[in-house]
A and B are shown apart, each in its own frame.
Chain A
Amino acid sequence: MKHSISTAAAIGAGEKSGGRLSSSDILKYLPLAGLVMLVVFFQVTSGGRLLTAQNLKLVFVQSYALFLAAIAGAFVIATDNLDFSMGATLGFASACACFAAMVDVRLALPVAVAVGLVVGLANGVAHVVFRLPSFIVCLCMMFILTAATQTMTKGTSMMMPVSMMSFDNTLMKVAVFVVYLAFMLVLFEYTKVGKHLKAIGISPEAARQSGVDIGKMKIIAYMITGAAAGFAGFFTLIRSGAASPANGQTMTTDVIIAIVLGGMSISGGATSKISAALIGTLVITVLGNGMVLSGMGGDAQQLIKGIIFIAVVAVSARGNTSAIVK
């Protein structure tokens, strides 16, 4: 799955004439336009329930864990890799956090993040040092962590200490999110880490020749996604009040879908951007929320999601002039 440099150039350059939007500009703003259209559609079909203050707050809290995971997921995807263990890491981290909280509630967050970091490190080392395909490493890690979570929670959901319920505070979440987003944005767009990861996504060989330590960068990318999954695990725990092996089950695919819906290429490279994670996450959440508000819940939900997904990707992929599509 290689992303050619010509694609990056083609998308980046664009053609501007007389102040009109070029086709590449249109494609760039398509995911945002798609989100706006979705919002307008559901605002109408739900009889105005979508854009109420209470519902907007709901959309924010429902998207929260996916926001955190998808923003970090962009780091690994930028290198043309995927982390299939994100969901299992989230579930495992939330279970560990729950246990830690029973000793002292202040330990829950650091334990969750530390667990995620260690898992990410293990994934990175197995992939880089032992040269195992990342797909296999992450898949096996997913099996191991799922079994571990099932064992820890005895297969069912485990209630967190009641005192932690007060942690589920929207204002606090907003503050944390702003800081997290700012940090990740700076890391991804303005530091060597982000630039090197994108370079690896464009061409690992070229990156190596330019002096990038590919192995170290990949390990860092996996550690970032692992830590973020742990972080998201903590917030899933305080939101649901429970640690469960079912938590995070669809997180990996949701992250990939969110990032693609947000307009980022699955092959990573120069066009990778954090905003894709934000827009894509909102699209997924608004879709789920809007369908229930409009009385479209049930069997049709997944079918509509799939069709919208194909449509959005089809339109945004038209800018892909790469000769190689994998």
Chain B
Amino acid sequence: MTKIQLAPRIAGLALRALKTMALPLLVYGALCAIVPSVFLRGSTAVMMVTQSITNVSIGWAMVFGMSVGLFDFSVGALVVLAGLFGVYCSQLFGFAGFLVGCMVGSLVLATLTGAIFSFLRIPSIITGFAAMLVFESVSVILAKKMMIVIEPTYLLFGRTPYCYILIVAVFIAVYLLFNYTKFGYQIKAIGGNEAVARNMGINTARLKLLTYIVGGAFLGISSILMVSNMGTINPKINMASMAQVFTPMMGVMIGMFLTSCNTIIGVFIGELTITIVSTGLVAVGMESRLQNVIVGIFLLVFMSIQINARRIGSRKRGRVAAASPTAV
């Protein structure tokens, strides 16, 4: 390829990257103008990316299920219980025990939830509530029998660059799984139209169970990241763990609605944007209790624009087509 042919290609890629990053860049840019002393620093930008890592990992784990219409509110409780199990294992088997404990715990719990959904044919929301009630209670019982603070030397993945290495590995795995495997194609087929997917021969029940299991594997990594970040893990009760699911879910919703990029990248964009918004609110001195409100309004406005812009666009295309000489 000659230089002349290469240049437009590179320009095209750069433009695409810019479009993809438009949302967080726009928000960050606005904050640079409002609070330059905080946001005109490279370290702040790096901190935003680091802060969004745990929620991104949870979002990526949830994207498989949410793509096929499953809403699982037990994810927060699952991550906490798997984390507690990991901490417990670390007290017996050291760092390896922590990693294996989180992964195995998460896989077992996710498989259990998926099995309840799949074999008992209970809607995912209900399965999620039931699983959440049970996981939260078990967390409380487990937490009573152990120290919930992990040995500081095991907090490797709470530090840079190890958390980056881990999240990049997760990204590659999720991206490939979602976009280049049969599993990924089938998920998208079901997400498009489940009845048609079934008629095409896709075993939708088996696939949905698989989304729980695959999601569970990635939630194990989320558990590792969460405990490594906080140094401890606190059980929640009375469905308080549901609040932990909202931010990753919002990120997934943004990711699913962004048209400028792949869903997996979109989830990262969504989580990063929410992180930037909430940090910005602290920087401008907004009271803690109002932060959720602003994030919620931001989400509403964003989705409103996305959805209605698409609708206007398709109407416009329809009018243009109708006006064309070949229109019927």
**A contacts B directly (C-beta below 8 A):** yes
The interface of chain A, by Cβ under 8 A from chain B, is: 1, 82, 126, 130-133, 135-137, 139-141, 143-144, 146-147, 150-151, 155, 250, 253, 256-257, 260, 265-267, 299-300, 302-303, 305-307, 309-310, 313-314, 317-318, 320, 322-326
* B129 close to A (CB within 8 Å): yes
Contact of A266 with B130 in the complex, beta carbons under 8 Å: no
Cα–Cα, bound, A299→B142 (Å) = 11
Q: In the complex, what residues of B have CB within 8 A of residue A250's CB? A: 238-239
Contact of A313 with B130 in the complex, beta carbons under 8 Å: yes
Q: A140-B299, A144-B297, A326-B69 are in contact. Are A130 and B130 (CB under 8 A)?
A: no
Contact of A266 with B299 in the complex, beta carbons under 8 Å: no
Contact of A131 with B307 in the complex, beta carbons under 8 Å: yes
* B185 close to A (CB within 8 Å): no
Contact of B311 with A143 in the complex, beta carbons under 8 Å: no
Expressed in whole angstroms, the minimum distance between the Cβ of A186 and any Cβ of chain B is 28
The interface of chain B, by Cβ under 8 A from chain A, is: 68-71, 116-117, 120-126, 129-134, 136-138, 140-141, 144, 194-195, 198, 204-205, 208, 237-239, 242, 246, 250, 253, 289-290, 292-293, 295-297, 299-300, 303-304, 307-308, 311
Determine the residue in chain B with the shortest Cβ distance to A310. Answer: B130
Contact of B121 with A147 in the complex, beta carbons under 8 Å: no
Contact of A313 among B126, B204, B250, B311 (CB under 8 A): B126
Contact of A136 with B303 in the complex, beta carbons under 8 Å: yes
Contact of A299 among B141, B253, B297 (CB under 8 A): B141
Contact of A130 with B304 in the complex, beta carbons under 8 Å: yes
Cα–Cα, bound, A136→B99 (Å) = 34
Contact of B296 among A143, A303, A307 (CB under 8 A): A143
Cα–Cα, bound, A24→B120 (Å) = 17
Cα–Cα, bound, A135→B293 (Å) = 15
Contact of A136 with B299 in the complex, beta carbons under 8 Å: yes
Contact of A137 among B129, B290, B295, B300 (CB under 8 A): B300
Q: In the complex, what residues of B have CB within 8 A of residue A1's CB? A: 69, 123
Q: In the complex, what residues of B have CB within 8 A of residue A310's CB? A: 116, 120, 122, 130, 134
Give 12 A-B pairs besides A144-B297, A313-B126, A318-B121 with Cβ atoms closer than 8 angstroms. A82-B125, A132-B304, A132-B307, A136-B299, A139-B250, A250-B238, A256-B125, A302-B133, A302-B237, A313-B120, A313-B130, A325-B124
Contact of A136 among B68, B198, B300 (CB under 8 A): B300
Q: In the complex, what residues of A have CB within 8 A of residue B296's CB? A: 139-141, 143-144
- Interface pairs (6), CB distance under 8 Å: A136-B253, A150-B289, A266-B123, A303-B137, A309-B129, A325-B121
Q: In the complex, what residues of B have CB within 8 A of residue A143's CB? A: 292-293, 295-296
Expressed in whole angstroms, the minimum distance between the Cβ of B52 and any Cβ of chain A is 19
Determine the residue in chain A with the shortest Cβ distance to B292. Answer: A143
Expressed in whole angstroms, the minimum distance between the Cβ of B130 and any Cβ of chain A is 4
Determine the residue in chain A with the shortest Cβ distance to B257. Answer: A133
Interchain residue pairs A-B with the least CB separation, the first 10: A306-B133, A303-B137, A140-B296, A306-B134, A143-B296, A326-B69, A143-B292, A314-B120, A302-B137, A310-B130
